[in-house]
């Protein structure tokens, strides 16, 4: 397996050649995030210090063996998790609503020589994960849940898109004040784990694992589809 190199400067230089980023805000969290350019956001998402608090290797390990599995990374952004999942042997669908982030991943994918079988790009609408029935072994949504509106119907579609015994992993920020500077949205824009669990239950999920210990600033919810 090849290591993942942070080729952020080259990606941003190539990304700047694409059309000016335009975005229609759909909620307060989106408006807050898009006060910065895609280039600035990508630098934040790819900052090496993120590994310290995000612990991507340990988070991915919670999915178990993903070799040959189809994993859909919804809200893929700059591909922070996308490329790491592909490194672990998954077939990754990098799904995002934003053309510029899709372009960013395409540039990085080419630079790092990932094949189309390893990483597929998918532009998705704001109101739907756009999953075919029973096609995903796992869906991950990292730092994105609070951006999604109409979540009960949205995650009912995610449930349909999972194969029997497939899993949904949600990683998002704890609705807590911290003494130190913490990445992520203001506390008022975050969604508590209890609200997430309630919404997922309404969407049809029945089995949950909750981890609040692995990450200092975030909770992890793994919801499993029944047989």
For residue 210, the domain's CATH number is 3.40.50.150
Give tens-digit pLDDT for 160-180: 999 999 999 999 999 988 766
Residue 190 lies in a domain: yes
**In angstroms, what CA-CA distances link 134 with 53, 70, 161, 207, 224?**
33, 11, 4, 18, 13
Cβ-contact 222, 62 below 8 angstroms: yes
Residue 37 lies in a domain: yes
Range of the domain at 88: 8-224
Give tens-digit pLDDT for 179-196: 666 677 888 899 999 999
Give tens-digit pLDDT for 110-162: 999 999 999 999 999 999 999 999 999 999 999 999 999 899 999 999 999 99
223/16: higher pLDDT? 223
Q: Distance between alpha carbon 168 and the CA centroid of its chain, in Å? A: 11
**What's the number of domains the chain is made of?**
1
**Of all residues in the chain, what percent carry a pLDDT higher than 70?**
80
Give tens-digit pLDDT for 213-222: 999 999 999 9
Residue 152 lies in a domain: yes
Q: How far apart are CA 32 and CA 16, in angstroms?
A: 22
Strand arrangement of the beta sheet that strand 162-173 belongs to: 119-123, 91-96, 70-74, 136-142, 162-173, 218-224, 207-211
Has this prediction a pTM greater than 0.85? no
Residue 208 lies in a domain: yes
Residue 3 lies in a domain: no
Residue 46 lies in a domain: yes
Backbone dihedral angles phi then psi of residue 56, each to the nearest 5 degrees? -60, -35
Cβ-contact 77, 50 below 8 angstroms: no
Q: How far apart are CA 107 and CA 87, in angstroms?
A: 17
- pLDDT beyond 50 at 108: yes
Residue 65 lies in a domain: yes
Q: How far apart are CA 220 and CA 210, in angstroms?
A: 6
Q: Which pLDDT value is given to residue 227?
A: 82
Specify the residue for token string 């390893």: 118
Mean pLDDT score of the chain: 85
Longest dimension (CA), the chain: 47
Residue 2 lies in a domain: no
């Amino acid at each position: 397996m090849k290591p993942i190199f942070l080729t952020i400067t080259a990606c941003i230089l190539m990304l700047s050649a694409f059309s000016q980023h335009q975005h229609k805000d759909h909620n307060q969290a989106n408006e807050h995030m898009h006060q910065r350019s895609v280039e600035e956001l990508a630098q934040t998402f790819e900052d090496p210090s993120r590994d310290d608090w995000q612990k991507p290797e340990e988070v991915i390990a919670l999915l178990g063996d993903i070799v040959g599995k189809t994993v859909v990374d919804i809200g893929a952004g700059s591909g922070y998790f996308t490329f790491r999942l592909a490194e672990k042997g998954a077939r990754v669908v990098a799904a995002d609503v934003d053309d510029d982030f899709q372009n960013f991943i395409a540039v990085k994918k080419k630079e790092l020589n990932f094949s189309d079988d390893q990483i597929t790009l998918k532009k998705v609408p704001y109101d739907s994960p756009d999953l075919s029935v029973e096609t995903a072994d796992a869906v991950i949504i990292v730092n994105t849940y609070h951006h999604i509106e109409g979540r009960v119907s949205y995650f009912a579609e995610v449930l349909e898109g999972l194969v029997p015994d497939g899993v949904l992993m949600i990683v998002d920020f704890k609705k807590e004040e911290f003494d130190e500077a913490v990445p992520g949205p203001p506390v008022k824009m975050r969604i508590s784990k209890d609200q997430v669990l309630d919404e997922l239950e309404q969407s049809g999920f029945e089995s949950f694992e909750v981890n609040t210990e692995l990450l200092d600033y975030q909770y992890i919810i793994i919801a499993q589809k029944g047989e």
